[in-house]
Structure 1
Amino acid sequence: MRIAIINHGIYPFWVGGMERHTHFLAEHMADQGADVTAIIPEITAEQTGQWNAMGNSYKLAQFPWPAAKLWLRQNYLFTKQAAPFLREGKFDAVYCQGFNGWSYLADTHPTQRALTLYNPHGLEMFKTVGLEQTLKGWPMRWAGREQARLADRVISLGGGLTDEVRRFLRVGDDKIDILGNAVDIDFIRSFPVPEPTRETGGPVRFVFVGRLEFNKGVSFLCEAFQGLEGAHLSIVGGGPLEGELRGKFAGPNIEFAGRLDDATLFARYHQSDCFVFASLYEGMPTVILEAMTCGLPVIATDIGAVTTMVDKDNGFVVQPGSSAQIRDAVRKFIALPAEAREGMGEFSRHRVEARFTWPHAARATLDTIERHLMARKA
């Protein structure tokens, strides 16, 4: 089976959830026998050498990234360059990440197209706040609906996102495939686990990992922890709100750790008792899966596909934008016996191993593609 997956970047040369998703999905589909080509913007000669040294199982096809001013137009023009390659490559399926693939869908007659799958991920363009951002997001909302209309299949990461795909993209259930996100547990476990450093009678240690920007809800998280006895919050990450948040909330029980390299980050997970996540809107955050892989219970807001990862067995789910609900969940977690907390952490670890590894995700994607290709031939 020949599969193309197209995106505006790929890990490790671009850092982001969609870029990591593209790399790991391509790699593991190729490991399971598919002939996979990732279509990306051109990378440098040095990066090409680095990619070759990685020994990846999939191929790259590179096209120049357009110099247009608007992000949406850049995506359109990028995939316009790639469209002839897609048409001539005799691919069985084309997997479009975000707005990538839009031109191929719009400019290619359905009889000349491969089976096309569109993954809109978190649908952030439909969740803007304020008139200015809402108006700026209108072209992307239109483009998202148009791409969903043209594609053969639309992917939901699951949970509440499936209803959002129906509602925002105006897609029926007969066109939706639920294919969740995943995490590279072997990569995470390749880093050493630090020795326990917990002080007897010390505070319960919570950790947040993410970019410090509005949609992550970090201000609500800090408000929940400010002055909370028996709890210590470590905030890992940087971003446009870092200075403001530090100035307002840094204190005895709230630490801003900044950006950390992978080894230090995974050590921080292992040195913590619980992961907290307060996003106002998002898709299926891989940081939650990373924390679960490290054996952490989770307190998270009910956004996107969070409820596919977190429930009463391994944590608490709260409403977004509520410092009071976060604070209440933190207090409930602190009040649990140590054995109950450890049991939640073990449940997190086992859930990832059973449902959220890349071999699982790749197999589910390949099975879905095969099923729809068979239906086409029938």
Structure 2
Amino acid sequence: MNKKLIIALLTDGIYPLQLGGMQKHSYFLSKYLSQNNAIIHLYIPQVTTIQEVANTSNLNLENDCIKINLVPLPSVRKFPGHYLFESYLYSKNVYNILNNNTQPDLIYIQGFSGWHLLNRGTEPNWKSIPTIINFHGYNMFQLAPNIKSHFSYYFFRQAVLQNIKKSEYVISLGGKITSILQAIGVSKKIREIPIGIEKIWLKDSALLQPNLSILNFVFIGRYERLKGVEELNQVVCNIKEDFQLHFIGPIPENKQIKGLPKVKYYGAINDENRIKEILRGCDVLICPSWSEGMPTVILEAMASGCAIIATDVGAVSEQVDASNGILIQPGNKPELKAAIERMIALPAEQLLEMKKASIKRVEEKFLWDKVAELTISEIKKIIENRS
């Protein structure tokens, strides 16, 4: 039997205890890598007990497949740049616990969780252990939606650069993320690995039927300026054709469209089965973000049999092309309006082919079983290159 790899996974939270793309990714990495002959030493914030983590997350803690290390969270007053300072202090706490544990074969760093470790990477006890870092979206290197974001991005860029240049390898989700990393000079370090989705999301494409009624569009996400809700609101109010738009997520009342029957708000939904139900009743997901990594919501919509309208940012082009949707430029309201109108005017059979193409692409590239195998394969190559 092959020796099991020991992988230290450093992260700032884990789903469902913490919500977010990186936290959900950390959960599924732990789950599926541990099913692929790896032992995961998971470092997460100390917001509860290990037993509560086990009960809530349903992770396999038996036979030490996943060993959880709870890391104290620093308490920092809010001031300009407090998030970065807090992240560094958290990474220091991670390092102190990691330093007293069994040395792993590789250290997988999510975001800023390994910042202090990377600063100590020349020490003899760490020099022999390869590190790989994943910042997911690299939003701070993408187009900012306003001046405030533009200035905050500057400080984040410096911190991210410091981390990725000290890590031995860097993960790209593909698409424009790879171009960003190449532009900042880390080409030789890049390993392209997408995010994944579980098989339970897949809709049987044989059950898809041409839509003979009005088209149902859906937006999923919290309200945040870079998510493009303002642009979507303005465009929706100027489309005369019949359609229905469903908003899933905590959209503040003052950001909601009033008096338009074709728009429906559900608020925040934590039940994945309910989200799946709504998605399977919709035809097209709209994701008009100014910047993204590889949105899980796009994969969930694709797996549910939706065509996609999305901005060509981050790694979205790995998920969406002309076969299953329309890519537009961020912040471009005329393009967004034209894309929605084109979907409405599309012959039912052509839209059906787009929806089937979405399901097929998820099956071929984005199921967690395959993503985990690819991740393990890349990790083994990295370790072998060190031998």
Give matches, 1:187-266, under 5 Å.
Answer: 188=201, 202-226=213-237, 227-239=239-251, 242-246=252-256, 248=257, 251-260=260-269, 261-266=271-276
The CA deviation at 1:258 is 1.4
Contact 2:289 2:311 in 1 (8 A): yes
> For 1:38, what is the secondary structure of its paired residue?
strand
The CA deviation at 1:111 is 4.3
CA distance in structure 1 between the partners assigned to 2:186 and 2:57 by the alignment: 42
2:192 counterpart residue number: 178
- Correspondence 1:7 to 2:7: no
> For 1:276, what is the secondary structure of its paired residue?
strand
Distance 1:155 1:331, change over 3 A: same
CA distance in structure 1 between the partners assigned to 2:339 and 2:321 by the alignment: 12
> For 2:74, what is the secondary structure of its paired residue?
coil
Unaligned runs of 5+ in 2: none
The CA deviation at 1:140 is 2.2
The CA deviation at 1:55 is 3.4
Contact 1:250 1:256 in 2 (8 A): no
Distance 1:268 1:332, change over 3 A: same
CA distance in structure 2 between the partners assigned to 1:221 and 1:136 by the alignment: 24
2:340 counterpart residue number: 330
Say what the alpha-carbon RMSD is for the aligned residues.
Answer: 2.5
Distance 1:130 1:351, change over 3 A: closer
> For 1:256, what is the secondary structure of its paired residue?
strand
CA distance in structure 1 between the partners assigned to 2:378 and 2:209 by the alignment: 45
The CA deviation at 1:53 is 5.4
The CA deviation at 1:16 is 0.6
Moved more, 360-369 or 102-111: 102-111
CA distance in structure 1 between the partners assigned to 2:37 and 2:31 by the alignment: 10
- Correspondence 1:47 to 2:52: yes
CA distance in structure 2 between the partners assigned to 1:284 and 1:138 by the alignment: 22
Distance 1:249 1:112, change over 3 A: farther
1:151-197 CA distance string (max 9 Å, x none): 00011110011111223xx23321111111111232x359x99x999
1:35 counterpart residue number: 39
> For 1:50, what is the secondary structure of its paired residue?
helix
Moved more, 43-52 or 352-361: 43-52
Distance 1:165 1:254, change over 3 A: same
Contact 2:11 2:113 in 1 (8 A): yes
1:302-330 CA distance string (max 9 Å, x none): 11101100011111111111121112112
CA distance in structure 1 between the partners assigned to 2:57 and 2:218 by the alignment: 36
Moved more, 77-86 or 295-304: 77-86
Contact 1:197 1:271 in 2 (8 A): no
Contact 1:119 1:156 in 2 (8 A): yes
The CA deviation at 1:108 is 3.2
Distance 1:129 1:372, change over 3 A: same
1:317 counterpart residue number: 327
Scaled by the length of structure 2, what TM-score is found?
Answer: 0.88
Moved more, 13-22 or 212-221: 212-221
Work out which of the residue numbers 88, 96, 106 in structure 2 matches 1:93.
106
> For 1:299, what is the secondary structure of its paired residue?
strand
- Correspondence 1:123 to 2:138: yes
1:71 counterpart residue number: 83
CA distance in structure 1 between the partners assigned to 2:259 and 2:368 by the alignment: 37
Distance 1:135 1:280, change over 3 A: closer
> For 2:34, what is the secondary structure of its paired residue?
helix
> For 1:31, what is the secondary structure of its paired residue?
coil
Distance 1:296 1:130, change over 3 A: closer
CA distance in structure 2 between the partners assigned to 1:359 and 1:48 by the alignment: 23
Work out which of the residue numbers 343, 354, 361 in structure 2 matches 1:344.
354
The CA deviation at 1:104 is 0.5
1:161 counterpart residue number: 177
Letter of the structure 1 residue corresponding to residue 173 of structure 2: L
Identity of aligned residues (%): 30
Distance 1:277 1:136, change over 3 A: closer
CA distance in structure 1 between the partners assigned to 2:306 and 2:74 by the alignment: 42
> For 1:5, what is the secondary structure of its paired residue?
strand
Letter of the structure 2 residue corresponding to residue 11 of structure 1: Y
CA distance in structure 2 between the partners assigned to 1:85 and 1:117 by the alignment: 19
